[in-house]
Amino acid sequence: MGFRFNDELLLSEADRNLAITSYPNVYFALDHPELREEFERIDALANKAKRRSRWVGCAALIFATLSLLTFPLAALLKDTLPDGLISDRLLLISGILGASFGILALVFGNLGLGFGQVKRSWLQKRLMTERLRQWHAQHLIAHAVEIADVTDSAEDRSAWLANRALSFARFKRNFIDQIGSEYTKFTNASAAAYSGQSITNPNESGEFWIDKDWAKAATDRANDEHQVALDELYQAIDETRIRGQIQYTNYVLSSDAKFWSSPAKQLHILGNLSYVLVVLSFVANFVALIGAIWSGLVAGNVPISWEVMSSLAIAFAILAVGVRAMLEGLRPQRETRRMQFYAAAINYAGTRFETARTHNKRVEAACLLERASYDEMVEFISSNERARFVL
């Protein structure tokens, strides 16, 4: 069974039915159909753009590798096949193909005419989905007291929902509809300036807040008369947002995730493959050297053509470089470190939230998670913006 993403948005009907039963007093605040519809629309586009970005990046590497393999493979065929089977015309065609592959690799990879545009489309859409999720969580945290206060009045709930709709419309207009300019702010900032910002000091930067007024609203004093509603909201935040993020990091860092979603699996498979190819290259090169020495010292036919083994050594080395380039493009080591840091931050926030005994302490703990979520998002965008699938 695959991992279930984005529980806090109540994407499935089963999740919504469970939420109605579990959090009947505050369900009106947890359920946000307009945000959910916008998220699902953009998330589908983001996943499609990610697949395109992935395959365009892989195509750049494949074209570059094929271009570099043209010379050793041509020499290998010329040395192994009988005379007459390899004509000059065939060698000319292979040379033209190699040059063509090289040009395509340059276009798709180095110049970014293919990969860069497709990748940026994916990252912009992923930024939108992450900010939508953060908007939902931050709005609940900042307005927790208001939510509890209006639970007893249908009229007050309607007014609160109307204000939320207005706030969300402003967010869509100012951020979603202006993603091109908003995206630049995240890519120009150094990820190092955000990473490790502070998972222990809740008084550090409030850059993570989507609406600066929410930071002030989050400090409102709770009313003891509505403690039942507040407890329901705390439980919902804990079981959907906090626990969902903890489970997500555990999934990504585990070996159960799919290859494209698991940096640990990428590092294991591609790292081992690169190592094997390097070893094969050294072995082929060593045999080629022995064959060359043998042919110089001993008259007669050599058991193994040193030219053939030399071509194989070059081919294995090129393939190894291609695999290493794939590692550089995917950056599994950096992704693993980023996810490990995020896991530490949200586990700390989860512990603080669970042990908090006052409303303000719970808000502080929830803000720790939102700050960590923002830091992780900035580093994800910044890191992937700089990633290149090039040899």
Residue pLDDT, tens place only, 202-243? 445 678 999 999 999 999 988 888 899 999 999 999 999 999
Q: Is residue 142 pLDDT above 70, yes or no?
A: yes
The reported pTM is 0.82
The overall average pLDDT reported for the chain is 84
pLDDT recorded at residue 111: 55
The CA–CA distances, whole Å, from 326 to 13, 266, 282, 336 equal 39, 10, 21, 16
What is the arithmetic mean of pLDDT over 43-57? 88
What's the pLDDT tens digit per position in 244-298? 999 989 888 887 777 877 888 888 899 999 999 999 999 988 988 887 777 767 6
Q: Is residue 201 pLDDT above 50, yes or no?
A: no
In 325-348, which positions are buried (b, 16+ CB within 10 angstroms) versus exposed (e)?
Answer: bbbbbbbbeebbebbebbbebbbb
Question: Which range (62-71, 148-157, 187-196) has the least confidence?
Answer: 187-196
Residue 168 CA, distance from chain mean position: 26
What's the pLDDT tens digit per position in 6-26? 578 999 999 999 999 999 999
What's the pLDDT tens digit per position in 81-128? 565 555 666 677 778 888 888 888 877 765 555 556 788 889 999 999
pLDDT recorded at residue 312: 86
* Cβ atoms within 10 Å of 274's Cβ, excluding its own: 19
Query: Residue 311: pLDDT band by 50, 70, 90 thresholds?
Result: confident
Q: Which long-range contacts (CB under 8 A, 24 or more apart) does 157-164 make?
A: 157/28, 160/29, 161/28, 164/29, 164/32, 164/139
The CA–CA distances, whole Å, from 333 to 78, 157, 327, 390 equal 41, 47, 9, 17
DSSP letter string, 45-79: HHHHHHHHHHHHHHHHHHHHHHHHHHHHHHHHHHH
pLDDT recorded at residue 124: 94
CB within 8 A of 165, min separation 6: which ones?
34
Burial class (CB in 10 A: 0-12, 13-18, 19+), 178: exposed
Query: Residue 303: pLDDT band by 50, 70, 90 thresholds?
Result: low
DSSP one-letter code for 8: G
**Residue 267 and residue 253: Cα distance in Å, rounded?**
12
